[in-house]
Structure 1
Amino acid sequence: MRRIIAFLIITAMLFSFPAFAATDETKVTVDGKQLQFDVPPAVVQGRTLVPLRAIFEALGATLDWDNPTKTVTGTKGSTTIVLTIGNKTATINGAKKDLDVPGTIINSRTLVPARFIAEALGAKVDWDAATKTVVIKSGAAATTYKVLRVVDGDTLEIEYNGAKEKVRLIGVDTPESVHPDAAKNNEFGEIASIFTKGLLEGKEIELEFDVQERDKYGRLLAYVWINGKMYNKTLLEEGYAKVATFPPNVKYVEDFKALQTVARDGNKGLWAYEEKATEPTAPSQSTQPTAPSTSETGNVLKVKAGENATASIQGTPGKEYTISVYYSSGASKASGLEPKKADANGNVSWTWKVGPSTKPGQYKVVIEGDKKIELTLEVE
């Protein structure tokens, strides 16, 4: 009987503590700066707990710890948070708030729920699954800079302290597109440049610096933030850049490598482009037309009235092409004939419906962009 009672007591004690897993993988950043902890964050029931002093001080709050009651009081401006370790109810300015998981003591360190503390102090919290990072934006007024011009995929020109300055993104490298030696420029560099222009040109950005603020060319070296997300990471995630890290500016090197691996494994962006570029060229077996360097004529697309016709070309990655189909009544305005940009592999195609009343015969199809291609649509 005593053994049974002892077993029940031990079992009850085990289940009175939340299951947790300490993890060196989970990171926490506040306004783009990674917090350093003396013990790693812990994940409890899907919630990230962090050492209490680090999170409170990073968000500009003062901290008071009452050891007998295991109660922490954090104060920032007019906000006061009171949280007792092991209690799933905390207070914010006296109002009770339920916690998903309570604060706890792990390996003699007091850990508190990161999201609750940050949001209670007016910060915004996001989760970056790709890098396993809790991203906290404190809400403090940040200095922003207008992007005047995108030089290429990884270099910007901004308005900085009343002058024009160039910014080179740290830790990433897109293919060349504006190098003085034209032989070093790359088609995909043009695509990366177009991508960056679309997201940053004319926009307000924030800059985060590392150890060195400028390179030997006098350019600012920075991590660029827009709408709460680091653009350096976006380039890697989408496959528009590769990791290019130069010490001592290595703050995010592990994150960057992880993102590059995901993009490469997913064959995204330049990874697909490079793979295609290294493939041996074989005679085409396709009946679809392909684009030469200047123009192409004589290709025939055969289709019956009322059916769909498809025209496909191999163009220049990132370039825009228009297509015009000339029937007896003039240029067609059918759906599917809108201008399109070639993908990372240079492929672009259009599919449209040939009207059921179209008379049998041959009609001209003209594709234009950085080259001109003339095809023949033969309606049977």
Structure 2
Amino acid sequence: MSSSRDLLAQLVRFDTTSRESNLALIDFVRTYLQGHGVACEWVFNEHKSKANLLATIGPADVPGIVLSGHTDVVPVDGQRWSVAPFELTEKDGKLYGRGTADMKGYIACVLACVPALVEAPLRMPVHIALSYDEEVGCLGVRSLIERFHAQPVKPLLCVIGEPTELKPVLGHKGKLAMRCEVQGAACHSAYAPSGVNAIEYAARLIGELVRIGEQLKAPQHLNAGFDPPFSTVQTGVINGGKALNIVPQNCTFDFEVRSLPAQDPWQVAHQLRGYAEQMLLPAMQAVSAQCAISFNELSSYPGLATSLETQAAEWVAQFCGSREYGTVAFGTEGGLFDQAGIPTVVCGPGSMEQGHRPDEFISVEQLDACDRMLQRVLEFVC
């Protein structure tokens, strides 16, 4: 087995669920890099409970390649695992553990490549960029990307190692997550018309979201390169009410827009706000002036749409040995790198079909193939 397997075993042992700190894992990577003579920079969050890591191997004054991955994983709560989620278990050519596919397998392969990178005569640098809180809205990587702005030159390419079975992915949808808060007027349910039922008005807003979502399926909005080929809208959480005999004063619901790269997800939010202000609030405030409807952003990130004609697409095709360019339904940090002027392609080992599930795994074959891909990256930068 290559050393990437042993490194993956150590990375999986760190419980880096997004609600937890990732500092122990970052410190492990720092120690590993220092052992090979590689310095690194930590970029902390506001409370210094989490950190990004940025390391550069090779000449820093010329454009290079970013190998980027996130260190956080999704929870295992409520999932039925047949193996310990935070211990690497090998069975039948598969390596089980939380984060093996999404995406510590890729990070392990990148780290396994470090000794060869250090020894090689590099003509351009390789940047190792590890982030926090990708799973909760691509939060941490933003301050990491700012570090690239401070460097003398921008990278030529960023390879985001999300699981794509090592096929180059040039596009994914963007996402906007919002919370709507409806404030009504409470009263005894026997006198319901004298109150303002916050749940009922929230339901009308959700119904309007459904209508907007249907509009996005119109032929002029479709992009056949994506599955589904249209932007989607869905409500995922709703809370409201205290008791059945009380007209509810408050109701909140969370919704998301997953938009095609060419579409602005904020248009959905603006359309819903307009419906609230024009169609709902006048009737609500006619009963009570205290009634209100507010919208707050929870998280957002842009879509990715790297052109087939770019040098970045050609290079990654050479690295992974495939020109089966595609798109994915899930989001990545790639849109933010691309937005910062760093051409980006998503390509990593494993499959998202295993990500986020109980008994998550990556195959030994995929891990070995990623090692070979990074060997081709090494040859390129030499």
Same fold per TM (> 0.5)? no
Larger Rg, first or second structure (1 or 2):
1
More strand, by proportion: 1
> TM bucket by the smaller chain?
under 0.3
Q: Which has the higher contact order (CA 8 A, sep 6+)?
A: 2
